[in-house]
Chain A
Amino acid sequence: MFNRTRPETEHNITVRGGTDKTRYYASARYLYREGLFAAKAQDIFNSISLRAKVDADIASWLNYASNVSLERTDYDWGGFWEMDGSTGYVSQGILWNVTQNVGPNYVPYNPDGTIAMYPGFMADATSPMMSGRAGAFLDGRSHNSNINNYWTWTNRLTAHIFKGLDFITDVTYRRRDRRANFRSLPTANSYDNINKRMYVGNGMTGGLFTNGSVYDFTREYRYFQDGLVANAYFSYNQNFGAGHHVAATLGANFDDYLGSSITIQQKGSLSDVLSYINMANGEIEKASQAISSYRTLGFFGRVNYDWKGRYLLEVSGRYDGSSRFPKGHRWGFFPSASAGWRLSEESFWEPLKAYVSNAKIRVSYGTLGNQQVDNYYYWEELKTGLLSGYTFDGLNNAGYAYADAPVSSNLTWETVISKNIGIDLGFLRDRLTLNADFFIRDTKNMLTAGKTLPYVYGEAAPKENAADLRTKGYELAISWKDHPVVAGQPMYYGITATLGDFVTHITRFDNPSNLLSENYVGKRLGDIWGYQTDGVFATDEEAAAYEQSIDSFSTVNKGIKGQVAPWNHLMAGDLIYKDLNGDSKINTGDNTLDKPGDRTVIGNSRPRYNYAFKGDFSWFGFDLSVFFQGVGKMDWMPNYNCIYFWGPYSYHRPTFVPTDFSEKCWSAEPGADNSNIIYPRQRGRIATQANLVTSDFYLQSAAYLRLKNLTVGYTLPIKTKVLDKARIYFSGENLFYLSPLKKATKYIDPEVATTSISDDCTYPYSKTFSVGIDVTF
């Protein structure tokens, strides 16, 4: 059902030129990419981008510039309508959607080519594979498309008032149109509903499969977005006397946005090929509209001063207002300042200059406003609709009205305050450079859900400026680069290594009892609370003794308790949860920091020690570049719906069980080596949503080192009147990675595992190989 490879091609062309008064630039790009879906559901992504720029000197003091761009993307896919591969993730993810419930022993097609139906065996009582979704995949009559057009037009007028002072205004108009349509058709299959036969034969289809989300309809979705961004500011830049340099800006900025969407869905598609509302003649199931808008206004100013590049000073500030906050809380002032000192420019540095060619110290203090809440967040909206399940008069569905969840009335800007100290050093004529930065970032009044409220409140807790965070970290970079002449040809090579790390703690949150179910002061972001284990029981007797003395069935082992006798008891190979607080019960206690029961912090899901290596080399027209990137420390607790990790432990009909899976499970075979197991005793469904227990036994290290990119190129030694330059290259992305996670599974990429939105390890990273040619005329 899936393709192993995804071919793609990309073409770029650029033209530029002009006179002293007028300059132009135009470019075009085309991208074609086939997706993972195979068979009749093949997904194809097309993208075209066009850009044209022109600027002209209207008068000696006035310049006009225009920049127009258009991008069109077009994504087409067959099969189940919600499985939109362009986002890679809808509901439960595309791979899960198609492969759940499809055992390797189920054949998708009958011998005559019709789609097989499995009565009474699947999630739905009678369905083609996987509740009809895989069926829709194979059937191919269901088809969907998503087309986006993005327009941007920027006009800029620059007036030179006098030497050093400019006045600049620019207005950008942005528009986005989206049109998506979905044709969902029930899957034709060979099940004969009347005679209850699974296989009709002779290419005949017996019935149509429908269920809650797979049925006959056509849906059209239209969206448009209008945006206007304007800036007007003075810019001043002047040198004075002996090395004084001053630059300043002062201006205003305005942003206005409106987005609106309409959805129509009608039943009864008349066509297997066309997806238009006119091609449907059934009931209109859905007709809805949404409108959203915001507006911001800001004033900003900045003054820079430096003397001979030796002493540098900058002071700036923004005063921003946003429609997302209620009256009286709309405006925020965000000042910043920084200073630098290049010691290596001082006279006392002269003796050192031969060794330390550059030395600079930087300090800065900056504030930034953040308004990440929904557009109408502070409005308590009252909405109306129809109750699908209630009627009074038998003629119409009953209408209803409801109010949005209550909101905090004093919502305002979140402020990020950064303090930074840095040093830049250059040695041996700047061939060796070292940059180091240490920073503290305080997030004040973070916009987040406030304290968890008891359910008697009857609504979700409102978002407030509820929390403060402090992040501390550093970034280091060291590089060596040189360009010697070797064998009469200039050579260039350079290597750079970087390392960065930061940790974030919560410094304010309204949680007086320090409940672990919400944030608490002192919590490090990413901390994973879980149980500690002592490996697995070696014998049934050991397990029975544990079961006698420690109560674990109402919590961590409830999945085992719920199994059929005699397997509803602890046995050899089951996990030994440690009773940390010695109360003979394994539980979460009060679930507070003081009384956490038997849980403790077993790991942290945030990446630590981000590092990278980059190397470039060129000589004789050849060029080579490599880029490695990695994370030094990161823990990952697989989520229950990551069935590629859990297999039958989580889901009882997994479709994907690696051939070496059982080697990683505890084995009851006499003499089996159980010292390196990843999974405990084989028991179905102990890692389901209801049963999975976070413990150090399951915790995986997701540290990794990845070869992100390798490029080899050769510039042909040709130069003619027409042809300026021609280069051919080969490039490979994501060529390999090293990770301790490979010990558990080589099918889950550590980076995908830890960033996947739905925790189900959705769309895998692709290895990309490309071959290309750059020609300049």
Chain B
Amino acid sequence: MKKIIIPFVLLASAMAMSSCEDFLTKSPQASLSPDTYFSSEKELDLWANKFYSDILPNPGDLAELNADDNGSSSSLSAVQKGTRTPSSKSWSADTWKPLRNINYMLENNKCTDVNVRNRYDGVCYFFRALFYFEKVRQYGDIPWYDHVIGSSDTEDLNKPRDPRGYVMLMVMKDLDKAYDLLPARWPSDAVYHVSKDAALALKSRAALFEGTFRKYHKGSVYVPVDEQTFDGVNISSEYFLQQAAEAAGKIVGTRKLYKGNTMKLADAAKDASYREYFILEDAETDETIFARRYNVDLKVRHGLQFDFKNQHRSASLRQVNHYLQSDGTPIQNRAGWQTLSYFDVFQDRDPRLAQTIQGPGYLMADIDEATKLHKTEQLSWERTFNGFRIIKYISDTGHEGATTSTTDYPLIRYAEVLLNYAEAKAELGQLTDEDIARTINVIRDRVGMPAMASVPSTPDALMESYYPHAAGAQKAAILEIRRERAVELFCEGFRQWDMLRWGEGALLTPKATGGFQGIYIAADQVGVDLDLDKDGKADLYLYTGSKGSTKAPATNQIQLGSGFTLSEGTSGYLTYWAAEDYVWNEDRDYLWPIPADQRTLTEFALTQNPGWDDGLSQ
């Protein structure tokens, strides 16, 4: 009997004494360990892929960026409506997680192949710069972290906000490192990866933002002091503008704009290639510096066309008035320019107008099976609310479902870099005729617009009224570059930020601009069928009171009064948002509020932005 017991006792004491610790180790079997990760190229690649999907915008974000140039009939942005609050949730653990992931990889990258290691460090620096640029753009001063924060590191967790100038200087440095470390071209799928040119282009974008923001807000609550010194570097609006010009200057002249006309949306390439560029299934690779890929087979899709349709997304007359006449002169040179009919608006204009907004004779990307020709489409109030339907990004109807768009999304393209260069130079007062030839005229050349012969000296009156705060030795050039930017980069996510950095935020509110005014309607055009595009068919029937007889499609029979109005009451520009009454707060609205709960959590280390009352005692 004792023989049975003794082994048990021995076993129990053996377990207790020798290896209890190891005996109780149960390691996860379906996952990897961070200790050994980050050594192979594949591992680095997998980790970095998450930066792309976490940080980069997708086309759906464009559908949320209302500004003064385009709007939706379903809702206005919080900026335009004045409904941003200090309890907003755009600042969360999830929004800060990508930064943690970037710093985590920078700290743990132990790949022995130095080329591979450098390349992925470059990716980290690129995305950290993008992350912080977007934070500064929104919040101004922001705490800068270049390492992973520990859960008990109170000093880091409760770090006060670093001045925006310092953070943007760090962004510049990160982008310089990214430029050094990133490859000029990745071995495969190059346009979908961040490269040297992407780093330069982002640098020009970020530096131009900071340079102009400082210039146009100098002395205000947002930028009390422009010239500051951080880490031995003297920064100022000029510093950043120079950085922008320098970075963009390295790319200017090295790339070409897309001039293809494979879909034959018009006979001449000048009337087609701009539109075609944005509906290519696969991004082209000369003009495109960096793009996000979509693919039908993998069901990696977006819903931009669906959103645009649902929101009746339309351009404002303000935007339309930016487009020059085809001879290069401004629209106000034309007699009666303020009361042009829909048809006349499109006659003899910069060809980009009809490639951006649906004009008379618009051809869909869809091909008619019978005739093998592009289909035509009647302007529909199911797709616009003011007559200026946006057709940029709109490919065929097969791709307009909620998640059925598969056109690639250009994130950075050459035309922006050219405009960044010209603008930075003009803001510095250093723009030359040669600069214009290498930038603005290259862009105009694609669409067959006449070249700008020299640096303009007389400010255009209309542009001056649209940008009342523009200033500088080369003000006339600044205004013309802004016109070109508004036209070329329309609806690409820049406008709201451009208006903020130029100090023109007040004009983002519908009240300030009449609420996305659209096509002009004379008093005698109410209550009768209108053939807008002169194709012999009734297109629109506007009425007050009860509906008379009409041949216009049901969707285009619009009752005036509630919702739809005309700017002068019985005549004027058709609009939908005339009743909006939010008035811009010049001393508050250029920055977003810091969330109140984060301020209390950091024991008030985070200060609130000017003008925002979050109810806290400090």
Contacts and interface: CB of A to CB of B under 8 A. Distances in A.
Interface in A601-635: none
A273 interface: no
Contacts of B31: 381-383
Contacts, number: 198
B617 A589 contact: yes
Interface in B146-173: 149, 151, 156-159
A461 B23 contact: no
A122 interface: no
A551 to B, nearest CB: 9
A297 B20 contact: yes
* Chain A interface size, under 10 / 10 to 19 / 20 to 34 / 35 or more: 35 or more
A403 B34 contact: yes
Contact of B293 (A391, A401, A454, A459): A391
Given A383-B32, A589-B615, A396 B298 contact: yes
Contacts of A388: 299-300
**A397, A401, A515, A554: residue with the most chain B Cβ atoms closer than 10 Å:** A401
Contacts of B158: 454
B21 A379 contact: no
Given A297-B15, A454-B598, A323 B24 contact: yes
Nearest to B615: A587
A391 B158 CA distance: 38
A698 B596 CA distance: 26
Contacts of B50: 387, 400-402
Interface stretch (B91-99, B242-250, B515-523): B91-99
Contacts of A585: 615
Nearest to B99: A458
B149 A461 contact: no
B93 A321 contact: no
Nearest to A319: B16
B543 interface: no
Nearest to A565: B579
Contact of A299 (B16, B95, B98): B16
Contacts of B4: 159
Given A161-B1, A381-B31, A398-B53, A515 B600 contact: yes
A294 B27 CA distance: 9
Contacts of B16: 252, 299
A512 B151 CA distance: 16
A384 B32 contact: yes
B603 interface: yes
Contact of A394 (B149, B295, B601): B295
Given A381-B31, A391-B293, A458 B149 contact: yes
A456 B159 contact: yes
B94 to A, nearest CB: 8
Given A297-B15, A452-B601, A392 B151 contact: no
Contact of A454 (B25, B101, B602): B602
Interface in A219-246: 232
A504 interface: no
A513 B189 CA distance: 52
Interface string A361-398: 00000000000000110011111100111111111111
B157 A456 contact: yes
B262 to A, nearest CB: 19
Nearest to B97: A458
A664 B1 CA distance: 78
A452 B297 CA distance: 43
A62 to B, nearest CB: 8
Interface in B161-204: 188-189, 192-193
Contacts of A167: 5, 8
Contacts of A395: 298
A489 interface: no
A515 B99 CA distance: 26
Given A387-B53, A458-B93, A590-B618, 8 more contacts: A167-B8, A299-B12, A401-B47, A402-B101, A403-B104, A454-B602, A589-B615, A589-B617
14 contacts: A293-B29, A381-B32, A382-B32, A383-B31, A387-B49, A390-B292, A399-B49, A454-B601, A455-B598, A458-B100, A555-B615, A589-B615, A590-B616, A592-B600
Interface of A: 61, 159, 161, 167, 169, 232, 252, 289-291, 293-297, 299, 321-323, 327-328, 330-331, 375-376, 379-384, 387-403, 406, 408, 450, 452-462, 512-513, 515, 517, 554-555, 585, 587-592, 595, 597
Interface of B: 1, 4-5, 8, 12, 15-16, 20-21, 23-34, 37, 43, 45-47, 49-50, 52-53, 58, 85, 91-93, 95-101, 104, 143, 145, 149, 151, 156-159, 188-189, 192-193, 282, 292-295, 297-300, 596-598, 600-603, 606, 615-618
